[in-house]
Structure 1
């Protein structure tokens, strides 16, 4: 049996260490809150030195951004690989349903739920990484539709990201309500919770695709009554 190339083993070890750091950080956030997430504590839980930790991530905030970055990178990758003949929103919905996305949602879901109470979210209630993702989405759309108007591409990118943020806000609100009814017990995320988040994200993009029929119906009724 042929041994794996040294470079491949080294890269796998780096990925494993990076994942251990992220897992340790999310575990400390879940069990101890923001105060527990010191660089020393994270390194101890991950089984590495503090110096090694900073070789992988410059700050604790950068570690917290990693799950969101991975999720967005995967969705953007799938969007870029989609059939050029597909309408953009159809391609975006398919990307959201693509391989690996549900698994990448789990750590983002944990971060979103636990970080809300720790002041680790941006002003609109979402991890800051969402705010820096628009350029990646724009690039993916431009690859998919190279002749599209650049202004319309930016509008579409921000619409898709905004829909995703709205889905996370709705999901976090629903789960926070459940947790508040547990007499101080911490809500443990289950497969059903992740499936709910996935469903809300898909529904949010479908609303963009369908043109918000319920809102339009309501508006038409209101106009007739005036």
Structure 2
């Protein structure tokens, strides 16, 4: 029992350190831009040595990818716990609405916003996390629906994640319209901003589930000019 408690405490300390490193990186990115997010500066801001920093993350890009990794891990975990009789899209929407997702979404939103404000593309690690998530979603659905063609599952996974990326793009466009000077003055994200992003991601998946009814109406031959 003592060994388990000690192991749990060590794991919690590791998680706290990882969280501190990510928080320090986000703050440096917000206040100083990409140039400020050096390994030495991050380590100092997090209150650890540079060597300790690299014990947790191999690169600065890996640090920036951490919020996305945590979010996608949570969604995939919820997907695996879903009722196997649910349609995968319904299960994905429920996963997005599960407890803890908005809190995990906040640092991802901050990273996206600060990167845009700096005029920078997202770190390569972010793109890698989307790819890893695609693989995880494929494996999760294969476990839930082993009879489905793997190719169709992979199409589904990429479609779902593409909808999520579209929601992020729409969110940044809306924030830019609301605060056109946010590039020179860092925008402070509020809970309302995070709720908006959460709702956009959920809406994107609902559009997939409903088959894009607005597009279908415009394609209906009965609505075309005779």
- What is the TM-score of this pair, normalised by structure 1? 0.92
Map 1:78-89; keep pairs closer than 5 Å: 78-89=78-89
Change (3 A) 1:83 1:53: same
Alignment of 1:61-80 (within 5 A): 61-80=61-80
Question: 2:121 corresponds to which residue?
Answer: 120
Q: Which ranges of structure 2 fall in alignment gaps of 5 or more residues?
A: none
Q: 1:188: which partner in 2?
A: 188
User: Mean Cα displacement is larger for which, 59-68 or 110-119?
Assistant: 110-119
Counterpart of 2:149 in structure 1 is: 149
SS, match of residue 187 in structure 2: coil
Report the alpha carbon displacement of residue 37 of structure 1 after superposing the two structures with TM: 0.1
Q: Distance in 1 between matches of 2:217 and 2:211?
A: 11
**Greater displacement, 96-105 / 179-188:** 179-188
Contact 2:64 / 2:123 at 8 angstroms: preserved in 1? Answer: no
Q: Is this contact kept in 2: 1:68–1:127, CA < 8 A? A: yes
Please give the alpha-carbon distance, in whole angstroms, between the structure 2 residues aligned to 1:148 and 1:224: 37
Alignment root-mean-square deviation, CA: 2.1
| d(CA) in 2 for partners of 1:141, 1:51 | 39
Could you tell me which residue of structure 2 aligns to residue 41 of structure 1?
41
Query: What's 2:131 paired with?
Result: 131
User: Which piece of structure 1 moves more, 152-161 or 4-13?
Assistant: 4-13
Q: Give the TM-score, by structure 2 length.
A: 0.92
Q: Could you tell me whether the CA contact under 8 Å between 1:21 and 1:42 is conserved in 2?
A: yes
How far does the alpha carbon of each residue in 1:67-94 deviate from its partner, in whole angstroms, 9 at most, with x for none? 0000000000000100011111111100
Does 2:219 align with 1:219? Answer: yes
CA separation of 1:122/1:48 partners in 2, compared to 1, >3 Å: closer, same or farther?
A: closer
Q: Note the C-alpha offset of 1:219.
A: 1.3
Q: Does the 8 A contact of 2:67 with 2:104 survive in 1?
A: yes
Contact 1:160 1:205 in 2 (8 A): yes
- Choose 5-14 or 201-210, whichever is displaced more: 5-14
Cα deviations by residue, 1:16-52 (Å, 9 ceiling, x for unpaired): 1111001100111111110000000000000000000
Q: Is the contact between residue 109 and residue 194 of structure 1 (CA under 8 Å) also seen in structure 2?
A: yes
